Amino acid sequence: MDGTVEQAAEVLPQLLTSVQVAAWLQVKPATLSRWRGQGIGPVCTWLRPDVPRYLRSDVEEWIRNQRAA
């Protein structure tokens, strides 16, 4: 292997599944789905109508914005 896959993994943003994000936030996937519908959760990227993905950086930013002042 010439390292191309490893190099691409370093350059491309990390996409997370709903299950991964829900586990990270310690909520149920259904809660994350409800937040998507209400427009109050982390920014979501839709690869297809049934394939939501989250950029790790978007989830991290959303968490920072949830902090109380």
How far apart are the C-alpha atoms of 7 and 31, rounded to whole Å?
Answer: 35
Domain spans in the chain, listed from the N-terminal domain onward: 13-65
pLDDT recorded at residue 69: 62
Does the global pTM surpass 0.85? no
Two structure tokens written together for 54: 């989250």
Place of tokens 């991290």: 60
Cβ neighbours for 33, distance < 8 A, ≥ 6 positions apart: 18
Contact 52, 58 (CB under 8 A): no
* Residue-wise pLDDT tens digits, 7-46: 655 666 789 999 999 999 999 999 999 999 999 999 999 9
Give the model's confidence band at 3: pLDDT under 50 very low, under 70 low, under 90 confident, else very high. Answer: low
Identify the architecture of domain 13-65 in CATH. Answer: Orthogonal Bundle (1.10)
